[in-house]
Amino acid sequence: MTFEATHPRFGGGVAAGSVRIFDTTLRDGEQAPGAGLTAAEKLEVARQLARLKVDVIEAGFPAASPGDFEAVRRIAQETKGGIAVAALARCRDGDPQRAVEAIGVAERPHLHLFIATSDIHLKHKLRISREQALEEARRWVKWARGTLGPDAEIEFSAEDASRTEDAFLLQVYEAVVEAGASTVNIPDTVGYAIPSEFGALVGRVVDRVGRDATISVHCHNDLGLATANTLAAVQSGARQVEVTINGLGERAGNASLEEVVMALRTRPAQFPELAAGVATEQITPASRLVSYLTGFAIQPNKAIVGANAFAHESGIHQDGFLKNPLTYEIMTPQSVGLAGSTLSIGKLSGRRGLQGKLRELGHEVEGEALDAVYRAAIALADAKKDVTDADLLALVEQRKADVPRSIELLGWNISSSSGGHSVGSVSLIVAGEAKAAHATGNGPVNALFGAVDEAVRPILGWHPVLTEYEIKAVSAGEDAQGQVLVRCRRSSDEGAGALVVTGHGLSTNIIEASLEAYLVAANKLHGAEINGIEVAFVGRRTAEELP
């Protein structure tokens, strides 16, 4: 097998000795049911991905919705420093044009075209022949190359490649490279492959077109093999890996960025002279930000970023670890953005102490942001006995999720009794107008939500409708902070296409946290309405399954 990491015909390519990290958290990751993000939240994740120094940020699927188009365009405008911004498009009239329009302002635009090639997809989904699929692939890659020029990165994905007949798949890849594709991607769209066969498939593609294009892979985790398949592909010559933070994505998710990157770094003998340029100390902040904004909790035993990844409980393990950490740790916690030591934060702590602690936890906070977190931390220290690492992280993440407030809370009151209904009242400023209202409910939270509805409905013409409510303790103990997550839609929207947004609240008073989360969601809904920008929402899908 022969392989060259750079290809001479078009710009881009991969530097010798490197693996290009293509992050698709904001596109495939966001397709996880319930993981929808606003345009502002997607921009915040993109900024963290830039700090992480990924090579490519796949910002979204511009043809899917006006909100996705706007998010991709904003990310393309802001992202600099040599990081490419990619947009996905079907090989179908309208999609590529919309994608090019969104990424045209990028410092490094990266167009990602795809069409299904497996017989099951061609027959039952697209209802076209192999010849038609081949012609559409060739046509749109040629159009893209002519539109974007010789220096742009044009990537082509053969959706469901791992279930495509070998000879036809290779024929498609040869045709699109000849038409101008500089990267060809091999998606294991339904997580069907196992490492030995997937590595062999990648090797055949490398042999056929690897001299003229970068070979990429995109692996799903339906059998729990996404990371293993990705690493097998790298050993067989793939030089771009498509991954997501926390393995987020459709169904069982995608190959996890943190797992793939740390495997390359930790096992250099298995990947000789290969490296990823990722700033690994930014992995933990990226993981926590994505988890917080999507509401998808990280399982404690998740590799690299789980709460137990660097925890030792067994006496034998503890004894070995204290004598030499290498006995039970194959990487240092510092290498992924965690601290090896702790600082306690209390009501007598100063700003410098808090800043140092936050730095250990992976957050660089300065100026006004530090002052705000400091005030919240000191107030929290007055309200509870111990301020834990989890408490501090929740305060930082809560501030990051601040949204413009057109609906502001002036005050609230609740009256509740055993066996009876609760009565809640709120005073609000709604779009500049003072409004007070009250409502009854089957509990204090239900009553306050009803009071908010009564206050905003006459002014906005709609009220939030709760579709999901989740509460969890940030730390242990009876005085723990409660973190509330709600998902809401407008009462004027119905059906699968309804806009659904997420709101978070944080307080030692769970009623207060619930009310805060509800108002954050209401502000997001109103912001989307007045700006004319729809955000990504649960149930957003095109007619085709994406790779």
The pLDDT score that the predictor gives to residue 346 is 64
**pLDDT reading at 534 higher than 50:** no
How much of the chain exceeds pLDDT 70, in percent? 86
pLDDT for the residue 336: 86
Q: First-to-last CA distance in the chain? A: 27
| Statement: residue 112 has pLDDT above 80 | yes
Give the ranges where 158-244 is alpha helix by DSSP (H).
166-179, 195-209, 226-235
For residue 82, tell me if it sits in a domain. Answer: yes
Alpha-carbon gap, residue 226 to 395, rounded angstroms:
34
Q: Please say which residue of 349, 366, 400 terminates a domain.
A: 400
Supply the pLDDT for residue 348: 67
Report residue 204's pLDDT band, with 50, 70 and 90 as the boundaries: very high
At residue 316 the predicted structure's pLDDT band, cuts being 50, 70 and 90, is low
Q: Are 18 and 31 in contact (CB under 8 A)?
A: no
Q: Are residues 168 and 127 in the same domain?
A: yes
Of 37-51, 104-118, 252-266, 501-515, the range with the lowest mean pLDDT is 501-515
| Residue 487 domain flag | yes
Judge whether residue 292 has pLDDT over 70: yes
Helix (H, G, I), strand (E, B) or coil at 51: helix
For residue 9, what pLDDT band results from cuts at 50, 70 and 90?
Answer: low
In a domain? residue 390: yes
Residue 465 lies in a domain: yes
Residue 358 pLDDT class (50, 70, 90 cuts): confident
CA distance linking residue 410 with residue 258, whole number of Å: 43
CATH number at residue 274: 3.20.20.70
| Residues 417 and 461 placed together within one structural domain of the fold | yes
Q: Are residues 389 and 428 in the same domain?
A: no
| Pair 208, 157 in one domain | yes
The sheet that has 407-415: what strands, in order across it?
A: 407-415, 422-430, 433-441
Strand partners, 439: 424
**Is 60 exceeded by the pLDDT of residue 319?**
no
Place of tokens 């107008």: 433
Long-range pairs, 144-150, Cβ under 8 A, ≥24:
144/96, 144/100, 144/111, 144/113, 144/180, 145/10, 145/179, 145/180, 145/181, 146/180, 147/96, 147/100, 148/100, 148/109, 148/111, 150/9, 150/10, 150/11
Q: Rounded mean pLDDT of 460-488? A: 85
The amino acid that residue 224 corresponds to is G
Q: Which carries the bigger pLDDT value, residue 317 or residue 359?
A: 359
Q: Is 488 helix (H, G, I), strand (E, B) or coil?
A: strand
141 closest CA partner among 124, 159, 151, 153 = 153
Comparing 8-17, 154-163, 244-253, the range with the smallest average pLDDT is 8-17
- Residue 518 sits in a domain whose CATH number is 3.30.160.270
Question: How many whole angstroms from its chain centre is CA 1?
Answer: 36
pLDDT at 148: 95
Residue 129, pLDDT > 90, answer yes
- Per-residue pLDDT for 127 more than 70? yes
d(CA 20, CA 183): 11
Q: How confident is the model at residue 535 (pLDDT cuts 50, 70, 90)?
A: very low
Residues 419 and 392 in one domain: no
Q: DSSP letters along 439-451, please?
A: EEESSHHHHHHHH
Average pLDDT over residues 482-504: 84
> Can you tell me the distance from the alpha carbon of 198 to that of 472, in angstroms, rounded to the nearest whole number?
41
Question: How many domains is the chain built from?
Answer: 3
More confident of the two residues 383 and 407: 407
Q: Distance between CA 127 and CA 521 in Å, rounded?
A: 41
Query: What residues form DSSP beta bridges with 217?
Result: 186, 241
Mean pLDDT of 524-543: 55
What does the DSSP assignment read for 512-544? HHHHHHHHHHHHHHHHHHHHT-PPP-TT---SS
Rounded Cα gap, residues 399 and 366, in angstroms: 13
Please tell me whether residues 81 and 224 are part of one structural domain.
yes
Q: Are residue 384 and residue 333 in the same domain, yes or no?
A: yes
Residue of higher predicted confidence among 1 and 42:
42
In a domain, 278, yes or no: yes
DSSP conformation letters of 224-259? S-HHHHHHHHHHTT--EEEEBGGG--STT-B-BHHH
DSSP letters along 119-157, please? HHHIIIII---HHHHHHHHHHHHHHHHHHH-TTSEEEEE
Quote the pLDDT of residue 15. Answer: 67
What is the sign of the dihedral through the CA atoms of 22, 27, 33 and 38? positive
Distance (Å, whole) CA 105 – CA 75: 10
Q: What pLDDT, on the 0 to 100 scale, is given for residue 374? A: 84
Q: Could you tell me the two tokens for 82?
A: 């040599």
Summarised one tens digit per residue, pLDDT across range 180-198 is: 999 999 999 999 999 999 9
| Radius of gyration in angstroms for the set of CA atoms belonging to the chain, rounded to a whole number | 25
Work out the average pLDDT over 247-269.
Answer: 95
Answer whether 452's CB lies under 8 Å from 426's CB. Answer: yes
Residues 499 and 363 reside in one and the same domain: no
Residues 410-447 have pLDDT tens digits of 999 999 887 778 999 999 999 999 999 999 998 999 99
Q: Which domain holds residue 348?
A: 315-400
Q: Are residues 342 and 426 in the same domain?
A: no
Unique residue bearing structure tokens 């619930």: 514
Q: Domain boundary at 366, 382, 400, which? A: 400
CA distances for 247 relative to 31, 260, 303, 311, angstroms: 12, 10, 10, 21
Q: Give the per-residue pLDDT at 330.
A: 80
Count of residues for the chain? 547
Lowest model confidence (mean pLDDT) among 141-145, 231-235, 275-279: 275-279
Query: Are 376 and 446 found together in one domain?
Result: no
Mean of pLDDT values over 18-26: 96
- Which pLDDT does position 459 carry in this prediction? 93
Amino acid making up residue 32: A
Nearest residue to 95 (alpha-carbon basis) of 122, 61, 145: 61
Does residue 242 have a pLDDT over 60? Answer: yes
In-domain check, residue 191: yes
8 falls in which pLDDT band (50, 70, 90)?
Answer: very low
Q: Which amino acid is at 495?
A: G
Kindly state whether residue 55 falls inside one of the protein's structural domains.
yes
- pLDDT at position 285: 93
Element at 321 (helix H, strand E): helix 315-323
Q: Are the CB atoms for 289 and 52 separated by under 8 Å?
A: no
Q: Is residue 306 part of a domain?
A: no
543 or 332, higher pLDDT: 332
User: Between 353 and 82, whose confidence is greater?
Assistant: 82
Q: Which residue has the tokens 């770094």?
A: 265
Report whether pLDDT(326) > 60. yes
Residues 281 and 360 in one domain: no
Model confidence over 507-523: pLDDT tens digits?
888 999 899 899 989 99
**272 and 338, same structural domain?**
no
